[in-house]
């Protein structure tokens, strides 16, 4: 079963837009995903190869079987369950080659205690040693080996590996979206400084970057990140700066991600907006600040990804445009309205896959029966 989640990637010289004393930035967001892939390998003729068929085995045989978990999404933790069906003998204790970072807990799961990073893989075990004293009454029968793997975001989540249930009560959701995905890892310290500047000699507004979300990392449910832009009046008169927000089309992601904006001038800070990133109430120009000649102000903004976001918002993109102007076409300035946060429940981004194997324990007869079970 998969519970998949997503992360949010916020993407973005002076960029000058001076027509009508107006300048704009386009702030981009896109969601990532928690997605793992479970593959089977074996050592055949001394070389590793893809698992091809279900073996015909004699008691005492060594089954080379390597379940490999590959992370196609964002950094995550993984766990696995191993189950044998249609067999009275406990073969789980005959599994060998369990990696050092794997530990079995009292809830029955094997937990990988390291973070599985984007693009990395880990092997669950190397094989199974069929006991030489395998009961005769079980010979000639088939047994099933089922392996199921779950993944959960590592960001904003800390497993308690001293507990018998390191992940606690998490809800595993089915993944409805397929790859491939382009996952971008966050490199801290980009440190771009954003500026909106009015230049009196040319009576124009200038913005030095294309995207005010440029410094934000890849985001996951529960993340909160803030940044700011300097507001500069490079003129010999007081400047009235207006602000509005636009979303070009229906984007569900911008309706769920939360935004908080404040503006500061002369040491006084006031709230401009609190609500969804879509910010429909900011669609009309409103006075952002009055900045004295040669003065400065600051626009601060915080983006919050609610914890309750689920798989519907994975692998999506969104864009919101912020427009600054000193000469708005409309004169009506509606009062600032704030949005209410709606919280339903808490979901952590998670994912899972599973596979199955049928092994025939026999003396002489052959079988090519196979059973693979995947859940996506």
22-32+184-325 and 36-153 share one fold = no
Q: Is the pLDDT of residue 334 over 80?
A: no
Q: Which residues contact 347 (CB under 8 A, 6 or more apart)?
A: 3, 5, 171, 173, 221, 307, 308, 309, 310
Tens of pLDDT, residues 118-161: 999 999 999 999 888 877 666 666 778 899 999 998 988 999 99
Tens of pLDDT, residues 37-49: 999 998 888 888 8
Using an 8 Å Cβ cutoff, are 319 and 26 in contact?
Answer: yes
Residue ranges of domains in the chain: 22-32+184-325, 36-153
pTM of the model: 0.74
Percent of the chain past pLDDT 90, that is, above it, reads 45
Supply the pLDDT for residue 246: 93
Supply the pLDDT for residue 375: 31
What class does CATH assign to 22-32+184-325? mainly beta
Q: Does domain 36-153 have CATH number 1.20.120?
A: no
Using an 8 Å Cβ cutoff, are 117 and 132 in contact?
Answer: no
Using an 8 Å Cβ cutoff, are 307 and 234 in contact?
Answer: no
Three-state helix/strand/coil letters over 233-298? EECCCCEEEEEEEECCCCCHHHHHCEEEEEEEECCEEEEEEEEECCCHHHCCCEEEEEECCCCEEE
Q: Regarding beta strands 317-325 and 239-246, do their DSSP bridges make them parallel or antiparallel, or are they unpaired?
A: antiparallel
Supply the pLDDT for residue 278: 92
Tens of pLDDT, residues 252-305: 889 999 999 999 998 899 999 999 999 989 999 999 999 999 999 999 999 999
- Compute the average pLDDT of residues 304-325: 86
- Compute the average pLDDT of residues 247-253: 83
> Which value, in Å, is the radius of gyration of the alpha carbons in the chain?
28
If you average pLDDT over every residue of the chain, what do you get? 79
């Amino acid at each position: 079963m998969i519970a998949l989640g997503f992360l949010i990637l916020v993407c973005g010289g002076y960029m000058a837009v001076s027509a009508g004393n107006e300048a704009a930035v386009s702030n981009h967001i896109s969601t990532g995903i928690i997605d793992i892939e479970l593959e089977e390998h074996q050592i055949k003729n001394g070389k590793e190869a893809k698992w091809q068929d279900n073996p015909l085995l004699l008691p005492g045989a060594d089954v080379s079987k390597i379940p490999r978990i590959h992370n196609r999404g964002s950094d995550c933790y993984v766990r696995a369950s191993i189950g044998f069906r249609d067999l009275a003998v406990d073969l789980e204790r005959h599994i060998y080659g369990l990696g050092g970072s794997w530990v079995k807990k009292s809830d029955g799961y094997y937990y990988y205690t390291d973070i599985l990073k984007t693009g990395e893989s880990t092997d669950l075990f190397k094989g199974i040693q069929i006991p030489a004293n395998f009961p005769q009454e079980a010979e000639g029968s088939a047994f099933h080996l089922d392996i199921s793997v779950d993944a959960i975001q590592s960001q904003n989540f800390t497993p308690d590996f001293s507990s018998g249930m390191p992940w606690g009560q998490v809800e595993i959701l089915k993944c409805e979206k397929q790859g491939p995905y382009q996952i971008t890892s966050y490199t801290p310290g980009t440190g771009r400084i954003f500026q909106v500047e009015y230049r009196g000699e040319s009576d124009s507004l200038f913005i030095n970057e294309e995207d005010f979300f440029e410094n934000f990392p890849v985001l996951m449910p529960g993340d909160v990140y803030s940044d700011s832009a300097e507001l500069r009046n490079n003129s010999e008169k007081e400047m009235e700066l207006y602000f509005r927000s636009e979303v070009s089309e229906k984007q569900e992601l911008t309706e769920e991600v939360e935004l908080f904006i404040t503006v500061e001038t002369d040491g006084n800070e006031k709230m401009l907006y609190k609500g969804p990133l879509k910010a429909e109430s900011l669609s009309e120009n409103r006075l952002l600040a009055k900045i004295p000649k040669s003065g400065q102000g600051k626009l601060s903004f915080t983006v919050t990804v609610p914890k309750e976001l689920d798989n519907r918002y994975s692998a999506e993109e969104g864009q919101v445009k912020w427009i600054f102007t000193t000469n708005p076409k409309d004169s009506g300035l509606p009062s600032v309205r704030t949005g209410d946060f709606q919280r339903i429940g808490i979901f952590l981004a998670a994912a899972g896959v599973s596979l199955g194997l049928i092994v025939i324990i026999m003396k002489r007869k052959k079988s090519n029966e196979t059973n693979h079970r995947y859940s996506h």
